[in-house]
Structure 1
Amino acid sequence: MFNQGLKGVIATQTEISDIDGEKGKLIYRGYDAKELANNYRFEEVAYLLWYAKLPIEDEVIQLEQKLKQDRVLSPKLKEWICSLPRNMDMMSVLRTTISLLGTNEFQWKPTLDQAIQISALVPSIIAYRYHFMKGTKYNEPLSHLNHIENYLYMLTGEIPSVAITKALEAYMILTLEHGLNASAFSARVTASTESDLVSAMTSAIGTMKGPLHGGAPSGVLDLLDEISVKERADKVIREKLTKGEKLMGFGHRVYKTHDPRSVALKEKLQQSQGQDASLDLAVHVEQVAVRLLEEFKPGRALYTNVEFYAAAIMKSIQLDVELFTPTFTASRIVGWTTHVLEQAEFNTIYRPQAEYIGRLDR
């Protein structure tokens, strides 16, 4: 039977994650992703995906040390990043720079050390290229900062506040992995040929670059900017719904109820209520929008998706829009490498069929 885009077709078995769209559940290796985001750090959840268990203290310390060691850019890598065309977008820079790592050391079969090395480098590549393009000073990694704090420091040159760090960390934990999406599938297809991890990550980044998969939530930013203050939320949203306009950041193709990632992010932001006006505005806008959506579209069960709060967090950090999808990539790289490692363990090359519908009588 032909299914356009392979929708609903089971192409592999996995122990990495599970998505229940009807119940609004996202599971990482048996653990509720929402609970992980609320109770664990980025490094601990990355460890869970890579090693299939939550770490004890010594194990997470070792992972943190390796991430810190591997995130330092070599002079040669910096030179390569600067040599890329100035009219190359950040996702293309990531794709090309990661591909330059593909020396003989990165041969089949992929290893955990390789996965950690690539994951550590991605935030540094983003920050270095960002400052190069802006003509500003790149901030070398600080060894006492964790993965998320250091990423923010490299971008801004300032030690981030606890509220901002926790918000971005929750977002990056909740976007580490999301089943056999287009980019994860792309990585597994490449790996199934017994190609190397660098090639598989290049495939995944190229897939994430597409606006149908990893596009920046600019529509949500426009909505929040238009509302600007809590008092305007009801008026602006009511006008949009009256005109039949779509509210960006609401509804999801997979989740038929609350997006668990959005719920977790909101809970995290509510813990820091009063510490950041942008984040407080987003929580208020969601409350107003959900109420009005039920009024205008009863029974549709339209709730915020992860892009809504992602936009709010990026806005509060004052990240340029061009950094949204690369930041998404800086978290999802952990999930992609985990998929490749799993593919390598039980490898069969992907070889689907295509149904010919052209002429036969020429």
Structure 2
Amino acid sequence: MPQQGNTSGLAGITAGETALSTVGKEGLDLTYRGYSIRDLAEGASFEEVVYLLLYGILPSRTELDRYKNLLLSLRDLPAALKTVLEQLPPTANPVDVLRTGCSALGTMEPEGEDRDAHAIANRLIASFPSMLLYWFHFHRSGKRIETRAEAHPTVADQFLFLLRGEAPSSLHVRALDAALVLHAEHEFNASTFTCRVIVSTLSDFYSAITGGIGALRGPLHGGADEGAMRLLERFSTPEEAEAGIRGMLEKKEKIMGFGHRVYKKGDPRAPIIKSLAKQLAAEAGDRTLFPIAERIEEMLLSEKGLYPNLDFYSAVAYHFLGIPTFLFTPLFVISRASGWAAHILEQRANNRLIRPIATYIGPAPRPFPKLDER
């Protein structure tokens, strides 16, 4: 029997099974393979979380060291891929750069007997930061950067070093690492479901990831943190922000970074990233942006019962990490590639073509008029 009620956007529809993550029936927490996101963000590195998602267990210290060395060895880009990245326009959306880079790498290092799904997953997770920042620096300054960065062993450390050209502080590495953990996986969100639909046709790994990137690009999904930053930048004081948000509410305008499809009592990831954003703001001596963000949060909660989602304070944290706003969504790609990869592996392990039915609302059967009778 088909499920009844309002199914617009597949709301409330169970589309499959997963052992990777859940927000629970009440939508009060988020767990990765049973581990609370709070514990993972506080006590695990992004590399540990990637290992957990891809291999099903938390690594031992020896396994983690070996895995970090593996990812480090996979950072370099083929010369042909560098040429592709150099040919992309400097005005390209950087999410499109990663989408194109993924697709191009799939033609150079195709999936096959000598390159299995785990190998491709690790290759993409390791090389996405390299693709993004190679393109960024080439078109910004004409510089062809070296992406291996052996002195910077984690994804967060490498990303910040390649972006700035100097070693980041321990607080900055810790903050970005936690942000990557928080963004890594989230049930059957739009981009993850896209990956599963594609791979259910027995398509290849790269095609599925490329599709996921395309879905994440939209402002209602991965682009929400960029929208939140643009919102925050509109105001100079908390008082101005309160007046501006009040005006937006009166006009029924969407306020980016607030509300969530599955969290009704607050996104459990938001307080974690807020705490890190507060530390970064204090380090920077900020007395403007973080107070504006808090005033908006307080107002929307008291007047509309709306809680900030992960994107809102992620935008604040990224800003104080010195990351340009247009690179926020690509960072989401770099993190969520781990969750996509794990879902592709899970879908393949018990595959059935994903092919839902639609409720037809068009005209009833009718006679076809010849051309001269129309």
Give the alignment's TM-score, normalised by structure 2. Answer: 0.87
Distance 1:321 1:21 in 2: 34
More displaced stretch, 100-109 vs 58-67: 100-109
Note if 1:127 corresponds to 2:133.
Answer: yes
- Measured after TM superposition, the shift of residue 85 of structure 1 is 4.1
Note if 1:184 corresponds to 2:188.
Answer: no
Note if 1:16 corresponds to 2:15.
Answer: no
- Measured after TM superposition, the shift of residue 157 of structure 1 is 0.6
Contact kept? 2:102, 2:210, Cα under 8 Å: yes
Give the gaps of 5 or more residues in structure 1.
none
Contact kept? 1:110, 1:197, Cα under 8 Å: no
Map of 1:214 onto structure 2: 222
Map of 1:289 onto structure 2: 296
- Measured after TM superposition, the shift of residue 136 of structure 1 is 4.3
Contact kept? 1:37, 1:173, Cα under 8 Å: yes
1:134-174 CA-partner distances (Å, limit 9, x unpaired): 12434323112121110111111111112221111111110
Note if 1:45 corresponds to 2:46.
Answer: no
Q: SS of the residue aligned with 2:338?
A: helix
- Measured after TM superposition, the shift of residue 240 of structure 1 is 2.6
Distance 2:270 2:144 in 1: 32
1:275-310 CA-partner distances (Å, limit 9, x unpaired): 2335x7555445433433354x1xx43222111111
**Aligned CA-pair RMSD:** 2.3
Contact kept? 1:17, 1:179, Cα under 8 Å: yes
Contact kept? 1:110, 1:340, Cα under 8 Å: no
Q: Pick one of 157, 161, 173 that aligns with 1:149.
A: 157
User: How many residues end up aligned between the 2 structures?
Assistant: 354
Map of 2:305 onto structure 1: 301
- Measured after TM superposition, the shift of residue 115 of structure 1 is 0.8
Distance 1:291 1:88 in 2: 37
Map of 1:201 onto structure 2: 209
Using a 3 Å threshold, how does the CA distance of structure 1 residues 132 and 102 change in structure 2: closer, same or farther? same
Q: Pick one of 144, 151, 163 that aligns with 2:171.
A: 163
Q: SS of the residue aligned with 2:186?
A: coil
Q: Which amino acid aligns with 1:142?
A: A
User: Which one has the largest radius of gyration?
Assistant: 2
Map of 1:346 onto structure 2: 350
Using a 3 Å threshold, how does the CA distance of structure 1 residues 216 and 127 change in structure 2: closer, same or farther? farther
Using a 3 Å threshold, how does the CA distance of structure 1 residues 23 and 355 change in structure 2: closer, same or farther? closer
Give the alignment's TM-score, normalised by structure 1. Answer: 0.90
Contact kept? 1:107, 1:195, Cα under 8 Å: no
More displaced stretch, 36-45 vs 72-81: 72-81
Contact kept? 1:18, 1:28, Cα under 8 Å: yes
In the TM superposition, what are the counterparts of 1:256-267 in structure 2 within 5 Å?
A: 256-267=264-275
Using a 3 Å threshold, how does the CA distance of structure 1 residues 203 and 219 change in structure 2: closer, same or farther? closer
- Measured after TM superposition, the shift of residue 21 of structure 1 is 7.3
Give the gaps of 5 or more residues in structure 2.
368-374
1:305-329 CA-partner distances (Å, limit 9, x unpaired): 1111111122112222221111110
Map of 1:35 onto structure 2: 39
Q: Pick one of 90, 93, 98 that aligns with 1:89.
A: 93
Using a 3 Å threshold, how does the CA distance of structure 1 residues 268 and 314 change in structure 2: closer, same or farther? closer
Q: SS of the residue aligned with 1:342?
A: helix
Using a 3 Å threshold, how does the CA distance of structure 1 residues 21 and 158 change in structure 2: closer, same or farther? farther
- Measured after TM superposition, the shift of residue 242 of structure 1 is 4.0
Contact kept? 1:17, 1:28, Cα under 8 Å: yes
Contact kept? 1:25, 1:260, Cα under 8 Å: yes
Note if 1:225 corresponds to 2:233.
Answer: yes
In the TM superposition, what are the counterparts of 1:311-330 in structure 2 within 5 Å?
A: 311-330=315-334
Identity of aligned residues (%): 36
- Measured after TM superposition, the shift of residue 28 of structure 1 is 0.4
